[in-house]
Amino acid sequence: MNRWLAILYIVICFEMGASLFLFPWVPLWTQNFFAGHYPWVHELARNYYVRGAISGLGLVDVFLAFHEVWRLRRSIGLVQ
């Protein structure tokens, strides 16, 4: 059962990381309820530094997923 939880964790980390990496650069990022009603949220969402920070967090999540894959392979015994 522990192996299945590790695989689920890997899938969730990878999907969340990929979406966090790509979503800030899609036009939908600035077209939401909060950006429409609060001007400071719209300006914050358009800031390239904020977009880069969120994309960086997504890359960290993807790296964490690959690290967990490597650790799972070592615990199973596929890699010496």
Count of alpha carbons within 13 angstroms of residue 65, beta-carbon side:
18
Residue with tokens 């059962």: 1
72 and 3 Cβ atoms separated by less than 8 Å: yes
pLDDT digits (tens, 9 = 90+) for 4-32: 898 999 999 999 999 999 999 998 888 88
Structure tokens at 28: 């939908």
The b/e string for 57-68 (b: 16+ C-beta within 10 A; e otherwise) is ebeebbebbeeb
pLDDT bucket at 66, cuts 50 / 70 / 90: very high
Q: Domain-by-domain residue ranges, the chain?
A: 2-76
pTM for the structure as a whole:
0.81
